[in-house]
Structure 1
Amino acid sequence: MRLIFTSLVSHGHLYPLLPLAVAARDAGHEVLFATGDDMLPVVEKAGLAAESAGFGMREAFESVAGPDAPKPNASDAPPESFHPVIGEVFGNVMPRRFVADLTPLLERHRPDLVVYESGNAGGAIAAHLAGIPAIGHGFGRFSRDDVMDVIYGRLAEFGAEVGLEGVNLPSFGDPVVDICPESVQAPDFLAEANRIPLRPVGWAEPGDLPAGVVGRDKSRPLVYLTLGTAFGDENVLKRAIGGLARLDADVIVAAGPAVDPGQLRDVPSNVRVEAWVPQVDLLPHVDLVVHHGGSGTTLGAFGAGLPQLVLPQGADQFTNAEAVVAAGVGTQLIGANVVEDAISEQARKLLTDETVLGAARKLADEVAAMPSPAEVAQRLPEFAG
């Protein structure tokens, strides 16, 4: 069977699809992955055939708001003031580009099934216009909020323009591979979706863990701090480092591509700053994750049974933080509350709260019981034409 996978041009949108794509290839299917140029090396390192489609989020935002527009998480403007730009980018600019790039690719390869990442509406629209069966693939929780309503409004307009009026958003009426455990998934999505559960299997490019992680003295907790690949903020990281350094614990910081690690050089002796760490390999050694609420880190911590202190910065991170709190596996700090004292206090509580630790272990058991990528890959022919 011929399969085309496609995702937005971002680690957080690409990585969740790679385990199933690799499992499908290992099951004997012919797999091609279509994403933007910046992510093609990642796909190729996974051993998958790749073709270019779409363009990056930064380029898309600059095409709408200009190169000097501030990031929503780095602006004093109210978040809702950015909704029109976000809606235009995700509901029109990027879908339009992906449809343009994927349409000739689908004509050349004529796949039996398209697996599109749920943020990549252009993948769904291109498949539907070509008459090719398709399924969505989530990258986390399917939350619905004001900004998503703006995005869906623009998508509905674009869909009508190309002949897909009345399309059922966000699933386009397709089955959806859902990597979020059911107990923390959005209830409205569970009520409406044709859901294909899939265990969230983390993906990271090969790399060594920081020295001292393996075989470390486990009498001291290890705290992992990251703000992800897209929403890194130097000031937030500095405040978090200041708060966590007060703990009788070791702290590993992943600065990510948005922050220069050199700006975080002067740190206490129990803190270590890295540009990047292989998160999948690190989490089994960690006792607490302090992070931005990105879907990959949130789900990774779910699977590892870890308590979480979430410092949401934008996008779906606020609803992810709410889900963490509702599940009893962590807490959140937002805006003016993201200060050293509060971070230190909350982290100290989370490291010792047996109720939270028990809830985290229970959620990890739920994740472990979800179908594996190999099992879901065996089902893919059910959805092909």
Structure 2
Amino acid sequence: MRVLFAGPPFFGLLYPMVPLAQALRAAGHDVLVGTCGAAVQRTREAGLLAADCAPGLDPDARYARMEKQRRGRPPSPGEAGAPAKGRGFSFFSDDMADRMVEFGRAWQPDLVVHTPNGVVGQLVAARLGIPSVLHAVGFGHTGAHVGMMNDALADAYTRHGLDGPAPLAAWLDVAPPSMSTNREPRRWFMRYVPYNGGAALPDWLLAPRERPRVTVTLGTVQPVVDGISPLARVVEAARESDAEFVLALGGTDLSALGELPGNVRPVPWIPLGALLDASDAVVHHGGAGTTLTALDSGLPQIVLGQGADRPANAAAVHARGCGLVPDGPEGLTPALVARLLTDEGLARAARETAEEMATVPSPAETVGRLTQLALIRRPAGPAPAHGSPA
């Protein structure tokens, strides 16, 4: 079986798909990841084949410009949850569409896997007449949301002779079942397995801890768009705490924070899963991949939850009782951080959630279902000619 992944060019959305891609490879199937920007290299580093579907596109820079342009304006339909045409966090789908269709026609996959905002994958599947499987990420997407993303891709569907997407063949839900609010048909639960890239771990991370450790991260997108201002409150809380605070920001310039207290350790890129394995709590922005990795760690968390799908992720964590959500930046107080480290109710709910996630079928256990799906839905003849409807 050949499986084409439509890989979003943002690491927080690409990385959650890697374990399934690797599981398919380990089972003997062929995998190709269509993506763009720096994600091409990150895909190669994961041991997977990549195809650059939008050469020259810098997705981070494009998204940062889009975000800065909209600041101070009334919410657009896209910002309210109905992506305006050509805008929103799925803008890359149109940039990638034509080359991904070309690659798909040449490579002839049996199945396409894509994220909710990577609807270019759904377009390619419709063009080739093969099943498409949605790989969910986080808590903020529904079938209606995916439909809106496809509406924003209307020009690309027209270019390829299509009226719109075909129905999804399956929806892989990686949320803990007790936290999922998704009621989409053909939903399959699949265990979220953290993948954050490889690294040589520093000695201090493997040494016994002498005091509690709190990992702090803003992901890869928020520092580019919003800077690191949320960390100022974390640093102030650290001054009143005996815990160690690890600022996992991948080399981001921290000079705006001034002189850091002795219990704050800035570090270069370290895989988040490994860092959380050696931590006692986590403070983060609320990105989908970060939220799910934190849930898998079984650690209590503070979720800032501002912008994009982060409020939905933060709300899910708060409702489960395994994390705290401050009321804006001013709510991130020393008292809230102290509670993060001492509230046994939070710690218990966090452990229970991680235990629940461990019982869900893994990506490796899901491969067989995907194989059967591809066999059942395999088209009888060759893909339609370029320019004609699928």
TM-score (structure 2 length as normaliser) = 0.85
Q: Which residue of 1 aligns with 2:217?
A: 226
Which residue of structure 2 aligns with residue 40 of structure 1? 40
The alpha-carbon deviation at position 328 of structure 1 amounts to 0.4
Q: State the Cα distance separating 1:131 from its structure 2 match.
A: 0.7
Say whether residues 1:2 and 2:2 are aligned partners: yes
| Equivalent residue number for residue 252 of structure 1 | 246
Q: Which residue pairs with 2:273 in the alignment? A: 280
Task: Give matches, 1:1-385, under 5 Å.
Answer: 1-54=1-54, 55-58=57-60, 60-61=62-63, 67=65, 70=68, 75-77=71-73, 83=79, 87=84, 88-90=86-88, 93-143=91-141, 151=149, 153-155=151-153, 159=157, 164-165=162-163, 167=165, 172-186=167-181, 189=182, 191-218=183-210, 220-232=211-223, 233-256=227-250, 259-264=252-257, 266-335=259-328, 338-339=329-330, 342-384=332-374, 385=378
Name the CA shift for 1:146/1:91 in 2 (closer, same or farther; >3 Å).
same
Residue type at the aligned position of 1:226: T
> CA 1:308–1:252 in 2, change beyond 3 Å: closer, same or farther?
same
In 1, the alpha carbon distance for the partners of 2:111 and 2:143 equals 30
Q: What is the CA distance between 1:261 and its match in structure 2?
A: 3.6
Task: Specify the code of the residue in structure 1 equivalent to 2:94.
Answer: R
Cα distance, 1:13 vs structure 2: 1.3
Q: Pick closer, same or farther for the CA change 1:77–1:145 going to 2, 3 Å.
A: farther
Q: Percent identity?
A: 33
Query: Counterpart of 1:32 in 2: which secondary structure?
Result: strand
Return the letter of the residue paired with 1:175. A
Contact 1:139 1:179 in 2 (8 A): yes
Residue 3 of structure 2 aligns to a residue whose secondary structure is strand
Aligned amino acid, residue 247 of structure 1: S
Q: Distance in 2 between matches of 1:224 and 1:92?
A: 29
Shift of the alpha carbon at 1:37? 3.6
CA change 1:211–1:82 in 2 (3 A) is farther
Give per-residue Cα distances to partners, 1:262-318, cap 9 Å, x unaligned.
544620000001232211111111111101001111111111111111112311101
In the alignment, residue 311 of structure 1 is paired with which amino acid? L
Moved more, 348-357 or 362-371: 348-357
Q: What is the aligned partner in structure 1 of residue 381 from structure 2?
A: none
What secondary structure sits across from 1:365 in the alignment?
Answer: helix
Whole-Å separation in 2 of the counterparts to 1:157 and 1:37 = 22
User: What one-letter code is carried by the residue in structure 2 that aligns with 1:127?
Assistant: A
Take 1:378 and 1:178, find their aligned partners in 2: how far apart are those partners? 16
Secondary structure class of the residue paired with 1:115: strand
Q: Which runs of 5+ in 1 are unaligned?
A: none
Alignment check: 8 A CA contact 2:3 2:111 kept:
yes
User: What SS does the corresponding residue of 1:381 show, helix, strand or coil?
Assistant: helix
Which shifted more, 23-32 or 275-284? 275-284
CA distance in 1, matches of 2:131, 2:74: 41
Cα distance between partner residues in 2 of 1:78 and 1:174? 37
Distance in 1, matches of 2:146 and 2:72, equals: 21
**Residues 199 and 368 in structure 1, CA contact (< 8 A), matched pair in contact too:** yes
Which residue identity does 1:115 align to in structure 2? V
SS in 1 for 2:241: coil
1:238 partner letter: A
- 3-state SS, counterpart of residue 345 of structure 2: helix
- Distance in 1 (alpha carbons) for counterparts of 2:77 and 2:369: 43
Structure 1 136/247 Cα, relative in aligned 2: closer, same or farther at 3 Å? same
Structure ranking higher in helix proportion: 1
Question: C-alpha distance in 2, partners of 1:212/1:370?
Answer: 33
After TM superposition, give the deviation of residue 175 of structure 1 in Å. Answer: 0.5
| Alpha-carbon RMSD | 2.9
| Cα displacement (A) at 1:77 | 4.8
Distance 1:365 1:242, change over 3 A: same
Equivalents in 2 of 1:237, 1:329: separation in Å? Answer: 21
CA distance, structure 1, for counterparts of residue 144 and residue 370 of structure 2:
33
